[in-house]
Amino acid sequence: MRFNIDKSIVYKAASKITLLALDVDGVLTDGRIYFSKTGEEIKTFHTLDGQGIKMLHACSIEVAIITGRSSMILEKRAADLGIKTLIQGREDKLTALNEILKAQSLSIKQAAYAGDDLPDLSAIRNVGLSFSVPNGHPEIRAASHAITTAEGGMGAVREITDFLLKANRKYDSFYQ
């Protein structure tokens, strides 16, 4: 992971995170959208990311998804991973995030956000901790606190989840 600000500041912010909000296309996926001959949308997800999300849940860090598109495939993936908060069809990411925070009685400093493109910028600029991916838009990478080594859809979310778990001293509990 590459840091845009002092690593110790990022670790301190990470220790306060109780909610990780994720964009989908470009973060949980590689950003490409596939369509079958019948027009069905196809997405691919990385199993490393899924395991990382399950690990966060086991340590009482919630995961939410906020995406501009709507997809039944994403509904299934979120359900499979135990993600209770899925907001689809929303380009106003910060507004959607604030709705989640209000419903859960959390402050914006308790939230981390991972995004890759301009609709994510307002959330990236306002959360307690922000992440982007190396294949994200330059403005998003510049505004983020940290940038993953792995690209979106290729384990980037797992890199983020491992970082959050380490900052909260909960990572080692998975190695028994």
Residue 175 confidence (pLDDT):
76
Task: Look at residue 159 and give its three-state secondary structure.
Answer: helix
Residue 57 confidence (pLDDT):
96
User: d(Cα 117, Cα 111) in Å, to the nearest integer?
Assistant: 18
User: d(Cα 163, Cα 76) in Å, to the nearest integer?
Assistant: 26
Residue 176 confidence (pLDDT):
64
Residue 173 confidence (pLDDT):
86
Sign of CA dihedral 42, 154, 67, 143: negative
Residue 87 confidence (pLDDT):
98
Query: pLDDT tens-digit profile of 134-157?
Result: 999 999 999 999 999 999 999 999
Residue 174 confidence (pLDDT):
83
Please identify every stretch of the chain with a pLDDT value under 50, giving residue numbers as ranges: none
Query: pLDDT tens-digit profile of 93-105?
Result: 999 999 999 999 9
